[in-house]
Amino acid sequence: MHQPSKEYKIIKSYIDTGKMTFGGYLFFFLRIPKNILEGLIRYIPGPMGIIIRRFYYKLILKKVGINVVIDEGVYFQGNDIELDDWACIDKFCVLRSFSNLRIGKRVHLGVGVVIHAGINSQITIDDNTGIADRCSIYSLTNSYSPNKRMGGPVCKSSEVFTRSGPIYIEKECFLGIGCLVLPNVKIGFASIMSSQSIVRKNIDA
């Protein structure tokens, strides 16, 4: 079972109790230099920016393979993220991992793709898969339940109900523009999802 990061624990405690500890303030204060550096690196244009980001994120993320392309404005949250060889992450993608997120070899994420790997619900996108612009992939979401709120992460933990499950997108798949993939789904080998599809259940190879 994956343990939440210290940052996540501090923020959830603050939301649930309404109080920030001195240790919490100190933790975020000490991260300011890193946040400023990463903010600058994120928007360096052109090939030089791609090269600098590749070397920087090799130090930060779990894995960055050879010839990985990380374009301008890509935002990472969490360290347990793997980008395998020749992966291409286009402009303004958001990759958040509270468990494990793996992007396989020669996977392409189009402009503005959002991937959220929730706690204990990892996401794997296997080799040679294409994810078109503005797709969203969530392995954890709030879900309706009696006497619970749908207000998202700023609600207290006791007030919301979440639904989670791993997502595995097998090799050679393609997701068209604007697809939404929800928790606990396996998309089989070489599957093609048309634009604006909502994937709520397993798809056969």
Q: Which residues pair with 97 in a beta bridge?
A: 117
The per-residue pLDDT for 3 is 66
- In contact, 145 and 187? CB cutoff 8 Å: no
Closest of 160, 111, 169 to residue 139, by C-alpha: 169
Rounded to two decimals, the pTM is 0.92
pLDDT for the residue 2: 64
Mean pLDDT of each 10-residue bin along the chain, 205 residues long: 77 90 93 95 96 96 97 94 98 96 98 95 97 97 87 84 94 98 97 97 96
Contact in structure between 176 and 161 (CB atoms under 8 Å):
no
What are the tokens at 40?
A: 């600058």
| Residue 76: predicted pLDDT | 97
Q: How far is CA 187 from CA 50, 93, 133, 196, in A?
A: 30, 21, 18, 16
Residues in the chain: 205
